[in-house]
Structure 1
Amino acid sequence: MSGQFGFMAKIGATDAAVATLNDQPYLFTILVVILVALILQSKKEPKDSKKSGAKPPAAR
């Protein structure tokens, strides 16, 4: 499969996924933004919980 996102097939994307990305390239941008946001959020959470020194709420 060729096109702007043909490289995605080499890393495991299906032909349908590559065709969709070629037709609607903004989906790739949205995917990258969401993945970066999730990575940054997951890196931020452990540091915040260690610095706060707060104990988790007791189970009821």
Structure 2
Amino acid sequence: MMVSKLISTCELKDCPTLYATDRDTLLVQGETPADHGLRIPAHETLVEIPMELIRKAIREQLI
């Protein structure tokens, strides 16, 4: 899979980030929430990202 960084909340490596793939999908880097109370299948996960990351991506017409 080829991955390209679209946008981040900062210029460091450890910030919420959106990536595009060559599969026409998005990868999301963010915090792993612990106390969400949801039942998630073992093959899936949740990540929490700030709304500002999505707003920034929309403003820059990346998604």
Greater relative contact order (Cα < 8 A, sep 6+): 2
Q: Please, what TM-score do these two structures have when normalized by structure 2?
A: 0.24
Using structure 1 for the length normalisation, give the TM-score: 0.25
Please say which structure displays the higher CA radius of gyration.
1
Point out the structure with the larger helix share: 1
